[in-house]
Amino acid sequence: MSELNDRPTANEYVAAEQGFLPSIGDLQAEARKVVNVASVKHRSPFRYPGGKTWFVPLIRKWLTTQAKQVNHLAEPFAGGAIVSLSALFDDLVDGVTLVEKDTNVAAVWQTIVDGEGPELADKIATFNVTEESVRLLFEQSIAPDDLIGRAFVTIVRNRVARGGIMAPGASLMRNGENGRGIKSRWYPETLKNRFLDLHSVHKKIRFHFGDGIKFIRDNSENENTGWFIDPSYTVAGRRLYLHSVLDHETLFEEAAKLKGPFLMTYDNADEIRLLAKKHGFAFTEIPMKNSHHAVMRELLISRDLEWVKT
């Protein structure tokens, strides 16, 4: 486990990408220090700015100690969905619902839910990544009904763009790690296996294409549904995500109406602290490392967070 201010090594990132899983250790201790992403098995096919791999040990603890009545987990701002997928593969819930409004990201999740993961996995495994092949792929038009084609282009773009950023104007990687350039995050066999793994549980995954806040409002009555709410950042989200404009106050109002338990993560902003106080929510700071390896603190928000502090 890396110390607080150490930069993760290239080997740690490679291990994380390829699914290496050493012992997690004491979850209570994990909640008080930066989680090394190499200690968490990666289930998502995405590289996501603001991804929550570091949060997985906490969601495990929450579901096993504080949300025992939950048999389903909903993620209304799914993105890479690492938290929900980890809970599903760890048998902490019987099923998950992913909600996403980005058309391209949605194509990936819909392809999986439709049972077409193996076909997408084969396209990934046989694609030769070069700058020329990637640019040619991006220049091709995609038919509106070609869901697998859209999903494939989305995964390639996510893997070859700097920082995994898929927003318009995002540039391709140049140098990458160890001089591998555009191939630095392209692990075709690993990605193929992730899609095959997802296919093995695809009947336990529901997908909803649409607005996360509306989904919360329409499904707030179920006491057996737990919620992991991870909206786009209040500031950085504007440059990282295609759909970053969010009514944060309305989101807090709808979260307050949920019958089931919820955990919410947010950037550490005064605006968000005030909203949490206004609605009587508990909040605490959780350390994480950003894409530049600097230690930062995000806010963890819920009705009760004593389980984190003990």
pLDDT digit string (tens) for 127-159?
Answer: 999 989 999 998 898 998 999 999 999 999 999
46 contact partners, CB below 8 Å, separation of at least 6: 79, 80, 81, 105, 108, 155, 158, 164
pLDDT at 292 > cutoff 70: no
Using 50, 70 and 90 to split pLDDT, how confident is the model at 16?
very low
Grade residue 168 by pLDDT with cuts at 50, 70 and 90: low
Token pair of 92 as six digits: 């902490």
Phi-psi region of 159 (alpha: psi -120 to 50; beta: other; left: phi over 0): alpha
**Rounded CA gap, 131 and 229, in Å?**
36
The whole-number pLDDT of residue 8 equals 36
pLDDT band with cut points at 50, 70 and 90 for residue 242: very low
Query: Nearest-CA neighbor of 36 among 26, 18, 51, 24?
Result: 24
Residue type at position 244? S
The percentage of residues in the chain with a pLDDT greater than 70, rounded to a whole number, is: 73
pLDDT for 199 beyond 80:
yes
According to the 3-state scheme, what is the secondary structure of the chain?
CCCCCCCCCHHHHHHHHCCCCCCCCCHHHHCCCCCCHHHCCCCCCCCCCCCCHHHHHHHHHHHHHCCCCCCEEEECCCCCCHHHHHHHHCCCCCEEEEEECCHHHHHHHHHHHCCCHHHHHHHHHCCCCCHHHHHHHHHCCCCCCCHHHHHHHHHHHHHHEHHHCCCCCCCECCCCCCCCHHHCCCCHHHHHHHHHHHHHCHHHEEEEECCHHHHHHHCCCCCCEEEEECCCCCCCHHHHCCCCCCCHHHHHHHHCCCCCCEEEEEECCHHHHHHHHHCCCEEEEEEEECCCCCEEEEEEEECCCHHHHC
Q: Are 58 and 300 in contact (CB under 8 A)?
A: yes
> Do residues 156 and 137 make contact, with C-beta atoms less than 8 angstroms apart?
yes
Q: How many CB atoms lie within 10 A of CB 32?
A: 11
The whole-angstrom separation of Cα 208 and Cα 266 is: 22
pLDDT confidence of residue 89: 96
In this model, does residue 241 exceed pLDDT 50? no
CB 133 within 8 A of CB 127: yes
Percentage of residues of the chain with pLDDT beyond 90 = 57
For residues 5-15, give the mean pLDDT. 37
pLDDT reported for residue 66:
84
Tell me the average pLDDT across 243-262: 89
The pLDDT, as a whole number, for residue 27 is: 35
The residue with greater pLDDT, 243 or 203, is 203
The third-level CATH classification (topology) of the domain covering 1-101+210-310 is Rossmann fold (3.40.50)
Task: Enter the pTM of the model.
Answer: 0.80
What is the signed CA dihedral for 219, 225, 230, 232, rounded to 10 degrees? -10
**What is the residue-averaged pLDDT of the chain?**
81
Q: Which two tokens stand for residue 283?
A: 């909040």
Q: What is the pLDDT of residue 29?
A: 45
Please determine, for residue 53, whether its predicted confidence score (pLDDT) is greater than 70. yes
Confidence of residue 294 (pLDDT cuts 50, 70, 90): low
Q: Long-range contact list for 236-241, CB < 8 A, 24+ apart?
A: 236/49, 236/50, 236/267, 237/50, 239/165, 239/167, 240/49, 240/50, 240/165, 240/167, 241/49, 241/102, 241/167
